[in-house]
Structure 1
Amino acid sequence: MLAAVLAALGYSDLAVTHSVRQKTKSAAKNLLIYGAVMIILAFLGAQNQIMLMFAGLAAPLGHELIIYFDKKAEENGEPIFTESSEGVRILDVLENSPARKAGIASGDIIMSLNEASVRDISELTGGYWRIKRGENYFQAWLPADNWGIIPVPRVHRGKYVYFGGNFELLKLLWRKVKKIFSKIKKCVR
């Protein structure tokens, strides 16, 4: 007999080699395939005890494999946005920010401020920014602070993100299972 079970998954990802939109679609596709496989395994498990055990093992392992392969692809791929020698490249722009209202978008390069070249985010302040988008240029006036931009990190700044070790969720699950079994052992004695 099959029964519906509600499961909530915590899932986070990092988009370095793809846009956030592309990464979201990829993650949704992977989780859809994972969900379909789990439904099939649950159906087969209802018919056969061995398949039921396999489904029980496949659930956390499949989830960990998705995370592992996504993380490896991000670590080994080429970033879509790299720092620019022309100015400050924009990684993202916050919703309803002065930069968004001025038309600045992800991938744009801030070339100058009040006609003076800009090489680092620390050189920016309010005024007229000259921005490059592809082969086109435009100007935008922005206030002195709170622009709502996230610049592409400079290489010399070090890492901004810790990826964690491999199979972290599985290791955590194993520690919890061992803890439960040790408590059961104590109760049995």
Structure 2
Amino acid sequence: MNDKISHDFPAPGEPLAPAHASAETLALLTRRRSTPAIELSEPGPDASQVEHLLGIAARVPDHGKLAPWRFILFEDDARASFGTILGKVWAVKNPDSTTDQTRFEQQRFQRAPLVIAVISTVTEQHKVPLWEQELSAGAVCQNLLIAASAMGFGAQWLTEWYAYDPDIKDALGLRSGERIAGFVYIGTATQDVMERPRPRAHVGRWKA
């Protein structure tokens, strides 16, 4: 991490303000919208921005300070290389698949210049419940989406079939108990996205 980025993050023990009033942040959160991966293109984040993204991603609630997640990055030729694995696994498990369908699977990671796999790495038999550890990995994915947007990039958090396939997990070197929280696709949006209908939240208030 270069000096500029390292200075952006507080040092352990540094006093921090309990709040950071920011109209820009509220506006971003109010209007944040995922960009479909198919609508992402070059350029993606540079090396400095990627490090900054990952640093921000890690600043999530983490009961027990377990850091129950890790990252696998797919950039440049690694996207096509892993796509070869996706295509082979897909073809074996879908023998009736057409050539075009298999090719589509091979090219999934080439939809965006950067794909970040967020791996949930829970510590079993720990006083911190597994559910809380898994929620922390989900918060990492959301932080990536927000940070990418703030940097001027489009992003989408996806799982799709390959997040749950045991052969893909083996190819990624996932250990026992590890799961894929999601693949976060990041790049430059090729067009604006339309707002979608939002479900109305169910809100209740406890009355004493």
Instruction: State the TM-score, normalized to the length of structure 2.
Output: 0.23
Q: RCO higher in 1 or 2 (8 Å CA, sep ≥ 6)? A: 2
